[in-house]
Structure 1
Amino acid sequence: MRAHRRILIGFTGALVAASVVLSGCGSSKGGNSPGNTPAGTSPATGAGSASATESAAAALVPAAIKSKGEITIAMDASYPPMEFFKPGTKSPIIGMDADLGFALGKLLGLKVNEVNATFDAIIPGLQSGKYDVGMSSFTDNKEREKIVDFVTYFSAGESFYVKSDSSKTFDGLDSLCGAKVAVENGTTEQSDALAQSKKCTAAGKQAVTVQQFSDQSGANLAVSSGRADVGFADSPPVAYIIQQSNGQFKESGKPFGTAPYGIALPKDNGMAKAVQAAMTELIANGDYADMLKKWDLSDGAITESVINGAQS
């Protein structure tokens, strides 16, 4: 899971560029995303049925942020259907996280600017003040909670995917011993694969060859080209990758390690309560369910948003 656990988008860019017949972000469902506005800024009427003046969440926004009147939300737009670009474009960002970001901004009474960033640069960007929010399929875990606050909004697991003609089977981390696995930098999958390699050698088995890429596109290309035996990512992206691959990929084994995704915020800056209140409102008024349905992600729905809800 991005360590994150994310959904796969570079699938379109890098794979198509490599003459692989894949359309990772080609879902027609992305066409009506609230993210389809110039420069990635929030539209005049975004998702969400309540105005900022009606929202209790807006009253919880810290004065320093309210005075700016806007927030910058960073996303790694290579992880469909959570955050990605339409094929052949570099703006705007679309996907579940993009829609949710605009909906939250509306309830908070803040203009939203969604920007693309590499996944492993988002949390440092929050720490430095470059970004106000990170929404990029981050898995909420204890280690990350030491440096950022999370507001939960989704539940996802980890999954393996292989080429459709592969005779190799992967099911659980133990199955990775001796395999070449492709992962994105900064993700939970990267950490899990590296840790598993040590366990394999300690047990007298072959190490895991962990191929690490700056975005999900690179990992997808490694699998499609045969340089990696297996791809390892969050379960929603893997499902999307397979769905959009024209039969070139298949899932291997069953999803495991379910954990919450969290909206990342600078530690103790006061925004967590406001964002949680806005999430609670979106869950209650049905807008959250509508966004999940739009992106075929209803299975990952949560019924309650909490602050720092890491399980481990």
Structure 2
Amino acid sequence: MVHRRPSLLSCGVLAVTALALGACGSDSLSGSSGSSGSSSSAPATASADSALHDALPQSVQDSGVLRVGTNAEYAPNEFLEGSEIKGMDIDVMNAVAAKLGVEVEYSNASFDTLIIGVTSNRYDAAISSFTITDERKQQVNMVQYFNAGTQWVTAEGNPAGVDPDDACGKKVSVQAGTTQSEEDLPARQQACTDAGKPAIDVQVFDSQEDATAAVVSGRVDAMLADSPVAAYAVQQTGDALELAGDIYDAAPYGIVVPKEQTATADAISQALTQLAEEGGYEAALAGWGAQDGAVDSFPVNP
């Protein structure tokens, strides 16, 4: 599984029903390691660990700032509320930064530029629902911190009669660059045509907000997204949407760190381990109802 956005999207809005109005994003947003949290309950600030701080690149130690790239268009994982980047991933990263003894400066950028930004030293790290893959591990280090699967979503009552196991001929929306758009749906389309059935009419959108809005407006019959994103979309639209079928193809998310910065990756892994022991890790997930995706360990490049 790859966001589950695989390969090497603006201001997001919280109400999914308003997403069709479009978005406009800021290129760079700054926030302290404790300033970006959910409206429900931001995790408590972690106590800094001096040994982990000393494992960071000298430039980060000197500045006291960790430059982090993200694509804030994937609620509830990362999204814009006004000019502030919020979300589950942001709360996790803020807690990690507090444990490392630094603040976070977030840059909101297109998803497909984030890994390049890390490898070119524009960012010290990136967090944006990256599924850990062998291809990505060849380019960067990835620190496991969450587990997510894929979930189908339809309009309430499933009026188009979408069967996730046989969606041939149905109109389905998806965000560009996701594992769902680049792996899942193409395989399903091929299965449909191989069986002599009409292919799935895949509608690809640059942002998850627009993909969700297409279902709400009736432009498409269903959508695919990561399980926490799908559940949040249903929650935010009230009775407009519902989940369809079971979660499948669960895979871990990873924080992206430059390939040569193994000490930084190990420090982030150890920070997450300490946070899990202290309760800060689960608190970061609980603010978004994402505890089911919690992992028990935080390996580098699993």
Structures share fold, TM-score greater than 0.5: yes
* Aligned counterpart, 1:209: 201
Q: 1:12 to 1:289 in 2, by over 3 A?
A: closer
* Paired AA for residue 154 in structure 2: V
- Cα deviation, 1:254-281, whole Å, max 9, x if unaligned, reads 1111111111122232221111111111
Tell me if the contact between 1:52 and 1:108 (Cα under 8 Å) persists in the aligned partners.
yes
Q: Give 1:292-307 correspondences, 5 Å limit.
A: 292-307=285-300
Q: Does 1:94 align with 2:86?
A: yes
SS of structure 1 residue aligned to 2:96: helix
* Aligned counterpart, 1:273: 266
Deviation at 1:206, TM superposition (A): 2.0
- Cα deviation, 1:174-214, whole Å, max 9, x if unaligned, reads 42322221111121111221232233323333222221111
* Aligned counterpart, 1:26: none
Q: Does 1:48 align with 2:45?
A: yes
Which residue among 122, 133, 138 is the counterpart of 1:130? 122
Q: Does 1:73 align with 2:68?
A: yes
SS of structure 2 residue aligned to 1:4: coil
SS of structure 2 residue aligned to 1:72: strand
Q: Does 1:182 align with 2:173?
A: yes
Q: Give 1:19-38 correspondences, 5 Å limit.
A: none
Tell me if the contact between 1:200 and 1:206 (Cα under 8 Å) persists in the aligned partners.
yes
* Paired AA for residue 69 in structure 1: G
Q: What is the rounded CA distance, in whole Å, between the counterparts of 2:16 and 2:287 in structure 1?
A: 25
Q: What is the rounded CA distance, in whole Å, between the counterparts of 2:238 and 2:16 in structure 1?
A: 16
How many percent identity over aligned positions? 36
Deviation at 1:117, TM superposition (A): 1.7
Q: What is the rounded CA distance, in whole Å, between the counterparts of 1:249 and 1:64 in structure 2?
A: 47
Q: 1:203 to 1:95 in 2, by over 3 A?
A: same
Q: What is the rounded CA distance, in whole Å, between the counterparts of 1:178 and 1:146 in structure 2?
A: 37
Tell me if the contact between 1:169 and 1:252 (Cα under 8 Å) persists in the aligned partners.
no
- Cα deviation, 1:207-239, whole Å, max 9, x if unaligned, reads 222211111111012112222211110111111
Q: What is the rounded CA distance, in whole Å, between the counterparts of 2:259 and 2:167 in structure 1?
A: 35
Q: 1:10 to 1:70 in 2, by over 3 A?
A: closer
* Aligned counterpart, 2:186: 194
Tell me if the contact between 1:177 and 1:205 (Cα under 8 Å) persists in the aligned partners.
yes
Q: Give 1:124-273 correspondences, 5 Å limit.
A: 124-170=116-162, 172=164, 174-191=165-182, 192-270=184-262, 271-273=264-266
* Aligned counterpart, 2:40: none
Moved more, 240-249 or 40-49: 40-49
Q: 1:11 to 1:207 in 2, by over 3 A?
A: farther
Tell me if the contact between 2:16 and 2:237 (Cα under 8 Å) persists in the aligned partners.
no
Tell me if the contact between 2:52 and 2:100 (Cα under 8 Å) persists in the aligned partners.
yes
Aligned length: 282
* Paired AA for residue 79 in structure 1: Y
Tell me if the contact between 2:13 and 2:19 (Cα under 8 Å) persists in the aligned partners.
no
SS of structure 2 residue aligned to 1:255: strand
Tell me if the contact between 2:153 and 2:244 (Cα under 8 Å) persists in the aligned partners.
yes
Tell me if the contact between 2:131 and 2:251 (Cα under 8 Å) persists in the aligned partners.
yes
Q: Which runs of 5+ in 1 are unaligned?
A: 20-37
* Aligned counterpart, 2:283: 290
* Paired AA for residue 273 in structure 2: T
SS of structure 1 residue aligned to 2:253: strand
Q: 1:200 to 1:163 in 2, by over 3 A?
A: same
SS of structure 2 residue aligned to 1:207: coil
SS of structure 2 residue aligned to 1:175: coil
Deviation at 1:44, TM superposition (A): 7.0
* Paired AA for residue 102 in structure 1: N
Q: What is the rounded CA distance, in whole Å, between the counterparts of 2:214 and 2:104 in structure 1?
A: 35
Tell me if the contact between 1:42 and 1:112 (Cα under 8 Å) persists in the aligned partners.
yes
Q: Please give the root-mean-square deviation of Cα atoms over the aligned residues, in Å.
A: 2.5
Deviation at 1:148, TM superposition (A): 2.0
Tell me if the contact between 1:156 and 1:260 (Cα under 8 Å) persists in the aligned partners.
yes
